Structure 1
Amino acid sequence: MSEFSPGQRWISDGEAELGLGTILNCDFRTVTVLFGASQETRTYSVRQPPLTRVAFGNGDRIQSAEGWQMTIDDSKEVDGLIVYIGEDDQGRVRELPEARLADSMQFDQARDRLLTGQVDRNDWFDLRFRTLHHHHRIEQNPALGLAGPKIDLIPHQLYIADEVAGRHAPRVLLADEVGLGKTIEAGLILHRLLLTGRAERALILVPDSLTHQWLVELLRRFALEVTLLDEHQSQAHGDANPFDSGQLILASQRWLFANPHRQAQAEACDWDLLIVDEAHHLDWTPQVSGPGYACVERLAASVPGILLLTATPEQMGMASHFARLRLLDPDRYQSLERFKAEEQGYVRVAEAIDALERLPATGQGGAADRDSVGAVIDDPDSEALLDTLSNPESSEAQREAVRTQLREQLLDRHGTGRVMFRNSRRHVGGFPERHLHIAPLELPSSYRRVLRRLARDEDYLDELLIETGLDHPDAVLYLDAMYRALPEDPLNSEPWWQFDPRVTWLLERLTEAGHDKVLVIAHDRETAIGLAEGLRVLGGVHAPVFHEGLSLVERDRAAAAFADLEDGSQVMVCSEIGSEGRNFQFCRHLVMFDLPLHPDQLEQRIGRLDRIGQQHAIELHVPVFADSPGAKLLRWYDEGMDAFSAPHGIGNELYDAFGDALADALIDGEGLDEIISETRALFDTRLEERDAGRNRLLELNACRHERADAVANAIREFDDDPALPRYLDQALDIFGVDSQDLGEALLHLQAGPQMLDGLPGLVKGEEGFTATLSRARALARDDVQRLSWEHPLLREMMGRILTGTMGNTALALLRHPAIPAGRLMTELVFRTHCPAPKRLHLDRFLPATAVRVLLDESGANLSGKVSFGGLSKNLQKVKKAVARDLIKSRHDQLRELLSAGEAEAERELPSIVEAAQHRMRKTLDNELARLQALSRHNPAVRDDELQALRDERAALDAAIEGTRLRLDAVRVIVTVDHEDA
């Protein structure tokens, strides 16, 4: 007779997601099952169908088709169907035939899946337990959120990210000098806030020219996919709010600031973080606000966290600096005049910190230093510290400890030091020297004719601009572009690169450079393309071209061909976009085929090579035509502002002051010496102001090196974690990802035919991506992803395991000479369950914690005697059909062991909760005490920040107190004889 009867409830072993099935009919060949919840019907052969009979036991909770629930006390069988007997939620005794069970019942919990015969592979169970273990470690690591991004470990960037991302609703100004990585700092802060749950939605507003750079930077360095929103994309959403189309929205400031309707839509959304790049361009005066400033001001009023990225304060003046601070805290920064007076007072604090370094000194000098420090402290504890420092009998160790403590106190009390972070190159250090090599060349006749006519005929410039369609002064600066744009003429019949001496000069430089890489940047895309053609035709040199007309993939290929140190191209030619957002740090020779008109763009070009960590001096090569507009511009850069020696951060101000006059002087040279002289005078004045005490104080406060070193060391531990490659190999294999070792620490990952869908960056039928575990290797290649515990691929795989059923049941065989065959053991993994809002980041104190209980069939706890790893390596797999039969035959015994295991695990819970509460209270109580003390001296500590910390502590305390254990996974182990194994 068939074991199937209409009305019985079964589940599909291969399609458990279909829910509870009902037998419709059965004959001697097939059985038909209706899965009501999914409205699917399946027909199976009666010979070994992939089905498991559902039979609940005493104590199980079940649900009826009408929605009421009951707890089973007993059951009986009537005509081949089970009838369950128990109490409902009102305490009434009821009967529920299995045919009336709810179709939607799922068997997600390990207990239900095991007892209904649903078992997974043993390696899945192993991966689940190891995932719990690694998740527990990772979430408590102080480097979480900072270790995954593809960045160099630069102290000031790590310090700022760690400090800011740890605050409630951070509102800060990132004002580092050019080239020190404000974008990276903002990306690190955003990345950590997202990973820790303190932020879920962010709006990023950047200048139109930088949208691509930000898009690429966030994706490549931080593996953050953002939605780039413009008018075309917005219109595609119809009447819906386009700002709701993604969690991370990137938009052009020019587009948004010019569109009141889109501004209203942006303001209607709930954002956790607002990031504004180049914030110093937001116009504001005490009398009136520009449209961009007004838009950001309205957003800032409702968005809790704000990051403003801006030029250094002295670049745009005190009023502009005050305007940025108003956006962060309008209550604190109400009066410009009061702010100016307050800022002057910080010179005394800076002088006091300098005096600290000299104490204890004797005589009149020592007394003056002590008075300088004493003038800016006003509490007994600080005075006692000062007495210790001044006491000549104090030990050196005591004095150093006191000096550090006093310095930290004074820096904390600096007014804008808490809301503003400013680092300079001289303070950070680690930058290479720059060497300028100027190559004067003779003007070719095709260019000389036009320049001579311009010098003779004042009206010819207007004619030239009309003829070429170029702008002034581009028409006279970029002579090859002018040549190409002039109407066809018999004298202009050959390509410009055939007669331009810069091309042959460059070929000579390439020969001299030997095997060194050479990056060439030209202003215009057509110039870059023509130059590459000239190098090929005239010198047989292959040069990949990098310009804005290429797709992202094509740019990657060009950059990769240049970056390859063994077989790559010696030279790469870029248009101006080549100086945006790319790291060519492996190269030390930069050829500026022409010069950009704006100082910031010049510095941006040099900044592609001149970066922290560059191992060689930067060799800057500038070919220039004698007495040409380019030669005059070179003089203004070199003599007026030392632009080639180091970045100074004041080029924009100098260009605003002298740019128009300079453009006129480029043609005839009239007034050029005076312009250079005045530029130099303003330049020297601004440098002197930059070195004032206020700025030195900001620099000291922008990086606390002891803390930065601690963060860097924690990241290195993450990087060197030996468990990561082992875990990655196992996870990729189980999830069906093909991994090919390419050598040189590189892997190519591609979706395998059996890959589980939805893994980031991997789609069946597509080529996948190249990755590495090495930070150094990833930094050298833009097209290589860096795999870490924080990479989206690993987080997705771990997340699926932790939130799903994968591997939460298993059955294995164990052969052991000391254990008779037929014995049963259960390996139970319980997990802490503590519901709490994601924003609390509870995991830093109590991440999901595994409690492992290993019981023999008598209920004896063997957990302390047999380790997980030691047991796992001796287990053998078993076929699913055999596993289901074994479980079916031991149902009652398994239920008893599950209950016994729960009691054993509960004994561990109090100590887990107590340890978590201790960690939380120690951390938050110390931070709250520090901020309360600081708030008495520094008004930049907001009342809402203090209250938020109190509320967070109370919420965490309640959440941790409510922690419970739940069964996460269970493995049944059956001993066998040697012959059976």
Structure 2
Amino acid sequence: MSAVIPDFKPGQSVYHPDLGEGVITAFSPGGYAAVFFKSVGLRQVPVETLRRQLTWEQRVISGLRQVSPKNLELLWLSWEAEQLPLMESASTLTSAKVDLLPHQVVLVHRLAMASPRRYLIADEVGLGKTVETALILRELASRGQMKRALMIVPAGLVNNWARELNETFNLDFEIFGSEGDVTDRKSNAFAKHNRLIASVDTLKRPARVKRLLEAPPWDLVVFDEAHHLSAYKNGRRVKKTENYKLSEAIRDHCRDLLLLSATPHQGDHFRFWMLVRLLDPTLFQNEQEMVESRHRLNAVVIRRTKADACKADGRPIFARRLVNTQAFHLNNDELKFYNALQDYLRDGYNLAETQGGKGRALGFVMTIFQKIAASSFAAVKKTLRRRLLMLTIHEAIHCDQNMDVDGRDNALSEARALIHDMFDVPFDPIGRAEAERILADYRLRVLRKIEESETFILNYDLQGTSDIAAGTAEEAAADFVSLALPEERRRIFSLLERFPGGIETKIIELLRALGEIWQANQSEKVVIFTTYLGSVDSIKGAIESTFPGQGVEVLKGGDHGSKTAAEKRFKRPDGPRVLICTAAGREGINLQFSRILFNHDLPWNPMDLEQRIGRIHRYGQKSTAQVYNFVAADTIEGKIYLMLEEKLKEIARTLGKVDENGQVSEDLRSQILGQLFERLSYDRLYQDAVRDPALRRTRQEIEVAMENAARARNVVFELFQDLEGFNISDYQAHDDKGAGMLRLIHFATIALQYKNGKLIEVEKGKTYIADIGNGQSVRFTTQRDIAIEDENLSLLGLEHPLIQQLLEAYTNLPPEDRALRGKIPSLNNTGVLTVWHIEVLGAKGQIQRLIIPLGVNREGERTRSIEQAWTMLQQLQPSLGDGFTADWLEHIISEVIPPMLQRELQYKGALPEGAMFSAKLLGLVELV
């Protein structure tokens, strides 16, 4: 006799106590069923061990029970955990230790509410586009609207972006590329990884673009420095750069697209129109219509200036700054050495030019020498001596290859003598052995560098990274000896013999200025920027010798951690009074606790100088930032700098942009220099000046470039004048006056209590200790300014590990714990309150999430008074009345409420044409 098979059918969902959820595929004799389980695959199990797998809604109804204080608290926690990430003020509840400025909060709110999100964020330099972007990413992630995001940035900024997004905002991005966390050598990384940062140069190769388009679409793509996405018009032809082609390819492969640029308009309306077309190709038919209807740019362009930015109370954010030019003259010995060096450089440039491609390495070496010489004579001496050593070893290798034994031995003898002198190695047996070891190391280095030089130079962007890559270039200038000047060793010997003795005039000027500052305030903190390590050593030695006890900290590279450590040591009240920064300090450090900065040398690109100044002249600076630029008036570099400043002031005076102190207004300076960068090759300008000592052509080129930059600035000013600026009232409309943080604290308090933990208020409304059991505790603050000042104190926010842990615990509440029966005395109606998590999917991939309460009475009609129970849960009491049947509740939830939800979404404008939505029951309260 065969076994009786319960009322199961193939295809039915079932549950097994050990194997979990599965689906019946077939039945077998003897009372067995073939079930495909999610956890283990296909298995044969006795039918009697299976039970019907209820739907989520059925499980919610099955757990319906009488209300008690404890289960009511649990239900509230589960609902609150769903709502907190969707609050309108969620962007201000970040635990990142950064100041949130009003214009940033307003921007994030605007973008979070927008659909589609396709904008050019064109805020001026210094207004925090990186922070704004991170806040947008955090907001969308909290709302469940960002699973896949791609940051496309300049190569030199990849690591900066990674640090900001990951270390500050905990967004878990990976770096794509050969030097990063992720590559595409074995698989399509764009399909496997959801949050990536990549350089534009890495992605624009055709093979990579193909892989990008083969991967799933992105929720958000961000292009930093978007003005490099260029398309030009030449007659009737349009030429698109590879950068532009990349952006064009990916714009239709993402839901949201953000372009970031402080200088998006390069004075060419067509180029800017093509940039706007990436965001909305239908906004303007051509660049003429864009100019005529420029107010329509508000649909896709957001631009705020430093004049717009303010604190929450309306006070200005940025302190004033005074930039002073400290011009001085070289002494006679320095001038003779400088002129001899110019002859050396001039001959080097001329030889490099006649050698065509082969002369590239020598031209590179001369450029670096020119820059080093503008920094300090100590730095150029160090590099000249090293180049002399490398040239001598190269000569020995060359003689050896030609079987010239005497020539080889003579060269090696000279090299040994140089090593003893350069490295202060004694001439005893131990010293000679050490000299031989150094010689062997340098010989290998020469052989390797001959092979590497061309590759290095091809990958070295002189115009874009000259200051940042200065340390590497300093070595390369000495090491690349594959092409040299005739008798270059003799010429370097001659130069070194002319090297001026004593302390450099520039150092004397610096020491004099420091003395005056410390005479007025002995504890004044001073930042000194210089580019090359040879200069660092001479400055540090001179300060320590002249002002013993003041202390000197040096920031000269390394990873972000070492830079931050140097910054912290300098910041301590009892720490060193001087911080010497190389190019490594130009980005990623905040020194607004110091108000005085000396530029010991000047980078050729004035925008690099602005970045240096931005280390102290930034949000949080309480005093006028005082900047002193040392300029040797009788050098080519000094003359060119003074020419640039003279022309800039002339333009500023014409526009009424010079203040009572003779300072060019900061906005005009940044606008002109930003445009100038696109029109002037500073490296070529300075190189040509060596061969034109009178600087006639140089002056003419500067004047033409400056006039064009000023013209472009005016074009941009006119085009953007109808863009909506920031108004503090915009912020005040969204400012919740701390209500969001209070709500977060309340949630954490109840959630910890439910788990037998507790939240201890240490300082009222400011600092807390969360006791989470098992001897574990977390100390945090709710005040952003306190958290920024105290590195040992975390800031509470939605992504804080404690909050994340609690949110996860209560959003994962089992369905059986989500239904209660009770009564609210002040409500007369009986019925059921349901709470729903809604996800709307737009036709173009837009996602919106909402929490909607919906109540119906016994007749199945929607009843607003029942929905009021949503805000009155704390009044819920046990009820002795008869509840509803499970069948009635199932009917209401599956048949009656879905059309009501659809009508509610349409009423809210949250269900556009072509959109779909899904609904998950978060719980119900039976009111009887």
Alignment of 1:175-186 (within 5 A): 175-186=122-133
Amino acid at match of 2:340: R
Q: Distance in 2 between matches of 1:300 and 1:561?
A: 45
Q: Distance in 2 between matches of 1:969 and 1:798?
A: 25
Q: Distance in 2 between matches of 1:179 and 1:138?
A: 29
Q: 2:292 aligns with which of 329, 345, 355?
A: 345
Quick one: structure 1 residues 428 and 749, their matched pair in 2 at CA, closer, same or farther if it must change by over 3 Å?
same
Contact 2:527 2:596 in 1 (8 A): yes
Alignment of 1:662-701 (within 5 A): 662-664=685-687, 667=690, 670-672=693-695, 675-676=698-699, 679=702, 682-683=705-706, 686-687=709-710, 690-691=713-714, 695=717, 698-701=720-723
Contact 2:116 2:846 in 1 (8 A): no
Contact 1:122 1:810 in 2 (8 A): no
Q: 1:800 aligns with which of 799, 809, 821?
A: 809
Shift of 1:214: 1.2
Quick one: structure 1 residues 261 and 657, their matched pair in 2 at CA, closer, same or farther if it must change by over 3 Å?
same
Shift of 1:440: 4.2
Shift of 1:627: 2.2
Contact 2:148 2:218 in 1 (8 A): yes
Q: Which residue of 1 aligns with 2:748?
A: 728
Amino acid at match of 2:296: G
Query: SS at 1:275's partner residue?
Result: strand
Query: SS at 1:950's partner residue?
Result: coil
Query: SS at 2:680's partner residue?
Result: helix
Shift of 1:209: 0.7
Q: 1:628 aligns with which of 630, 635, 651?
A: 635
Quick one: structure 1 residues 681 and 949, their matched pair in 2 at CA, closer, same or farther if it must change by over 3 Å?
farther
Contact 1:159 1:711 in 2 (8 A): no
Quick one: structure 1 residues 236 and 648, their matched pair in 2 at CA, closer, same or farther if it must change by over 3 Å?
closer
Shift of 1:191: 2.9
Amino acid at match of 2:163: V
Alignment of 1:355-504 (within 5 A): 414-426=295-307, 428=309, 430=316, 431-440=318-327, 443=330, 450-456=337-343, 459=346, 461=348, 471=368, 473-479=370-376, 480-487=378-385, 500-501=507-508, 504=511
Contact 1:122 1:807 in 2 (8 A): no
Q: How big is each residue's C-alpha offset from its partner over 1:676-728, in whole Å with a ceiling of 9 and x where there is no partner?
A: 56635654564465446x735635424352762245513x4346x33433443
Contact 2:268 2:712 in 1 (8 A): no
Q: Which residue of 1 aligns with 2:615?
A: 608
Q: Which residue of 1 aligns with 2:244?
A: 293
Q: How big is each residue's C-alpha offset from its partner over 1:735-763, in whole Å with a ceiling of 9 and x where there is no partner?
A: 799999998956799998687xxxxxxxx
Q: Distance in 2 between matches of 1:132 and 1:838?
A: 22
Superposition RMSD in Å: 5.5
Q: Distance in 2 between matches of 1:773 and 1:109?
A: 39
Shift of 1:729: 5.2
Quick one: structure 1 residues 525 and 950, their matched pair in 2 at CA, closer, same or farther if it must change by over 3 Å?
farther
Unaligned runs of 5+ in 1: 1-18, 22-35, 39-61, 69-95, 350-413, 756-767, 812-827, 852-860, 873-892, 926-947, 971-981
Find out whether 1:541 has 2:537 as its counterpart: no
Contact 1:520 1:572 in 2 (8 A): yes
Quick one: structure 1 residues 183 and 244, their matched pair in 2 at CA, closer, same or farther if it must change by over 3 Å?
same
Alignment of 1:563-962 (within 5 A): 563-564=571-572, 566-567=573-574, 569-612=576-619, 614-641=621-648, 645-646=665-666, 647-655=669-677, 656-657=679-680, 659-660=682-683, 662-664=685-687, 667=690, 670-672=693-695, 675-676=698-699, 679=702, 682-683=705-706, 686-687=709-710, 690-691=713-714, 695=717, 698-703=720-725, 705=727, 708-710=730-732, 712-714=734-736, 716-718=737-739, 721-728=741-748, 731=751, 772-780=781-789, 785-789=794-798, 791=800, 793-805=802-814, 808=817, 832-834=835-837, 836-837=839-840, 845-847=850-852, 924=909, 949-952=912-915, 955=916
Unaligned runs of 5+ in 2: 1-14, 28-44, 311-315, 353-360, 387-417, 425-498, 650-662, 821-830, 857-865
Q: How big is each residue's C-alpha offset from its partner over 1:891-920, in whole Å with a ceiling of 9 and x where there is no partner?
A: xx9999886899999999999999988985
Q: Distance in 2 between matches of 1:896 and 1:951?
A: 44
Alignment of 1:22-33 (within 5 A): none
Q: Distance in 2 between matches of 1:698 and 1:469?
A: 43
Find out whether 1:37 has 2:34 as its counterpart: no
Shift of 1:606: 1.8
Quick one: structure 1 residues 315 and 129, their matched pair in 2 at CA, closer, same or farther if it must change by over 3 Å?
same
Amino acid at match of 1:836: E
Q: Distance in 1 between matches of 2:555 and 2:292?
A: 50
Quick one: structure 1 residues 544 and 193, their matched pair in 2 at CA, closer, same or farther if it must change by over 3 Å?
same
Amino acid at match of 1:801: Y
Shift of 1:322: 2.3
Quick one: structure 1 residues 965 and 681, their matched pair in 2 at CA, closer, same or farther if it must change by over 3 Å?
closer
Shift of 1:146: 4.9
Q: Which residue of 1 aligns with 2:565?
A: 557
Query: SS at 1:437's partner residue?
Result: strand
Contact 1:592 1:621 in 2 (8 A): yes
TM-score of the superposed pair, with normalisation by structure 2: 0.64
Q: Which residue of 2 aligns with 1:264?
A: 210
Query: SS at 1:306's partner residue?
Result: strand
Contact 1:559 1:782 in 2 (8 A): no
Shift of 1:211: 0.8
Q: Distance in 2 between matches of 1:591 and 1:685?
A: 31
Find out whether 1:518 has 2:526 as its counterpart: yes
TM-score of the superposed pair, with normalisation by structure 1: 0.61
Find out whether 1:251 has 2:198 as its counterpart: yes
Shift of 1:218: 1.9
Aligned length: 724
Q: Which residue of 2 aligns with 1:308?
A: 259
Quick one: structure 1 residues 290 and 99, their matched pair in 2 at CA, closer, same or farther if it must change by over 3 Å?
same
Contact 1:220 1:785 in 2 (8 A): no
Shift of 1:173: 1.8
Q: Distance in 1 between matches of 2:335 and 2:759?
A: 60
Find out whether 1:189 has 2:136 as its counterpart: yes
Q: Which residue of 2 aligns with 1:145?
A: 91
Q: 2:169 aligns with which of 203, 222, 227?
A: 222
Contact 1:153 1:712 in 2 (8 A): no
Q: Distance in 2 between matches of 1:902 and 1:569?
A: 76
Deviating more after overlay: 634-643 vs 478-487: 634-643
Quick one: structure 1 residues 299 and 445, their matched pair in 2 at CA, closer, same or farther if it must change by over 3 Å?
farther
Percent pairwise identity: 21
Q: Which residue of 1 aligns with 2:39?
A: none
Quick one: structure 1 residues 239 and 842, their matched pair in 2 at CA, closer, same or farther if it must change by over 3 Å?
closer
Q: Distance in 2 between matches of 1:296 and 1:915?
A: 42
Contact 2:552 2:577 in 1 (8 A): yes
Query: SS at 1:584's partner residue?
Result: coil
Q: Which residue of 1 aligns with 2:49?
A: 100
Contact 1:135 1:847 in 2 (8 A): no
Amino acid at match of 2:338: L
Shift of 1:573: 3.1
